[in-house]
């Protein structure tokens, strides 16, 4: 990543220029930097500025903008370009920051909470009182999933990869937390829910996908929103193509006839391909902000880096040691 200077942005009709104060960092940003993020390849190309989410103060507004004015505190989503001191987006991609959120908390909210909301409430129907298993429960999406699942009354088992994440996930509302670094994951998974889970949410890839499928009960749903396990889990900053190739080779295949016989489902999604689904994004964000207003959702736990220090923010998220959200401050 390199820092570049560009002219100030000028909004077009229906657009808003925001003076950025914070930008959320997601593992997807690392994948963009490595050149392996599919929507970045397909729709933008390189060079590219990473960043899906941001917060700041409205600067200029273009013609036909009705909801915001100069000086408003806003946060929003963007199809990349979030790591910039100014950003120009359509008005529909902006939201007023809740009073209880700081600028940093707002910047770390939309990507992970919208991913979690889509997984739990828009993608499939999970019955009331369901038992669900959440991998990587201490990370950005994982911690959002735990909060939303608690608000909906699900029975939650969270999986983390290190001891320091256990108390954090419990504080968010998980009923059981498994530290797979010091325990036999699948033995405990079966003991917690012997009849199987109604849903398992897994972004690990070949490391856990087959076990996750086995852990489902009949009519259960395996929801896949990433494959971190095939990517480097160190802070070297470089892509390990050999590990990725081996991971892809080990990736389980699910035969449609087996799915019918087992009465189970496997479904996946990538939030960045939903930017043209205004109906889903608007419904999801309205529901999330209503839950914030009612005190049902806490802001994400924030680790802040100065924007100029984005490389170290990426090193931390690559290492897998972070909890909650990493945010760049401008």
pLDDT value at 221 more than 90: yes
Asked if 159 and 209 sit in the same domain, the reply is yes
Residue 74 is assigned to a structural domain of this protein? yes
> 266-276 burial by CB neighbour count: b if 16+ within 10 A, else e?
beebebbebee
Domain end residue (candidates: 216, 245, 268): 268
Residue 259 is assigned to a structural domain of this protein? yes
Give the pLDDT score at 232: 61
Question: Full-prediction pTM beyond 0.85?
Answer: yes
Domain containing residue 82? 15-109+301-329
CATH code of 312's domain:
3.90.180.10
- Mean pLDDT of the region 191-216: 95
Residue 39's pLDDT band (cuts 50, 70, 90):
confident
CA 309 and chain centroid, separation: 21
Residue 7 is assigned to a structural domain of this protein? no
Asked if 231 and 128 sit in the same domain, the reply is yes
- Mean pLDDT of the region 189-214: 95
Asked if 129 and 256 sit in the same domain, the reply is yes
Give the pLDDT score at 233: 63
pLDDT value at 146 more than 70: yes
Residue 58 is assigned to a structural domain of this protein? yes
The H or E element that residue 328 is part of is strand 325-329
- Mean pLDDT of the region 58-86: 96
Match 């080779």 to its residue by tokens. Answer: 249
pLDDT value at 166 more than 90: yes
Domain end residue (candidates: 218, 247, 268): 268
CATH code of 138's domain:
3.40.50.720
Asked if 132 and 239 sit in the same domain, the reply is yes
Number of domains in the chain: 2
- Per the model's pLDDT, the better-predicted residue between 242 and 158 turns out to be 158
- Mean pLDDT of the region 167-177: 96
d(CA 82, CA 194): 44
Q: Which tokens in the block code for residue 14?
A: 């229906």
pLDDT value at 236 more than 80: no
Asked if 89 and 195 sit in the same domain, the reply is no
Q: Which tokens in the block code for residue 296?
A: 């049902």
- Per the model's pLDDT, the better-predicted residue between 46 and 275 turns out to be 46
Three-state DSSP class for 152? helix
Residue 275's pLDDT band (cuts 50, 70, 90):
confident
- Mean pLDDT of the region 115-121: 96
Asked if 103 and 136 sit in the same domain, the reply is no
- Mean pLDDT of the region 272-301: 90
Residue 284 is assigned to a structural domain of this protein? no
């Amino acid at each position: 990543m390199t820092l570049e200077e560009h002219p100030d942005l000028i909004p077009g009709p229906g657009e808003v220029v925001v003076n950025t104060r914070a930008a959320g960092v997601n593992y997807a940003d690392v994948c963009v930097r490595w050149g392996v993020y599919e929507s970045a390849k397909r729709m933008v190309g390189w060079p590219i500025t990473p960043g899906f989410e941001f917060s700041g103060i409205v600067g200029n507004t273009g013609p036909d903008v009705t909801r915001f004015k100069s000086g408003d505190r806003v946060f929003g989503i963007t199809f990349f370009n979030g790591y910039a001191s100014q950003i120009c987006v359509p008005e529909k991609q902006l939201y007023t920051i809740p009073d209880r959120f700081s600028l940093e908390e707002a910047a770390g909210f939309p990507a992970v909470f919208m991913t979690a909301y889509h997984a739990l409430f828009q993608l499939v129907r999970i019955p009331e009182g369901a038992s669900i298993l959440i991998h990587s429960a201490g990370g950005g999406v994982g911690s959002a999933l735990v909060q939303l699942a608690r608000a909906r009354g699900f029975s939650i088992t969270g999986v983390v990869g290190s001891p320091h994440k256990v108390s954090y996930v419990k504080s968010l509302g998980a009923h059981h937390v498994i530290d797979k670094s010091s325990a036999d994951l699948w033995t405990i998974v079966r003991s917690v829910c012997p009849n199987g889970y109604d849903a398992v949410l897994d972004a690990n890839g070949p490391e856990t996908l087959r076990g996750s499928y086995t852990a489902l009960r009949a009519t259960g749903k395996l929801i896949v929103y990433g494959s971190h396990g095939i990517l480097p889990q160190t802070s070297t900053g470089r892509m390990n193509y050999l590990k990725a190739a081996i991971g892809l080779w080990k990736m389980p295949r699910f035969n449609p006839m087996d799915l019918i016989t087992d009465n189970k489902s496997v479904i996946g999604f990538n939030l960045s391909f939903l930017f043209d689904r205004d109906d889903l994004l608007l419904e999801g964000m309205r529901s999330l902000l209503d839950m914030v207003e009612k005190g049902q959702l806490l802001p994400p736990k924030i680790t802040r880096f100065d924007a100029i220090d984005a490389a170290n923010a990426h090193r931390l998220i690559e290492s897998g040691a972070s909890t909650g959200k990493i945010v760049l401050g401008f």
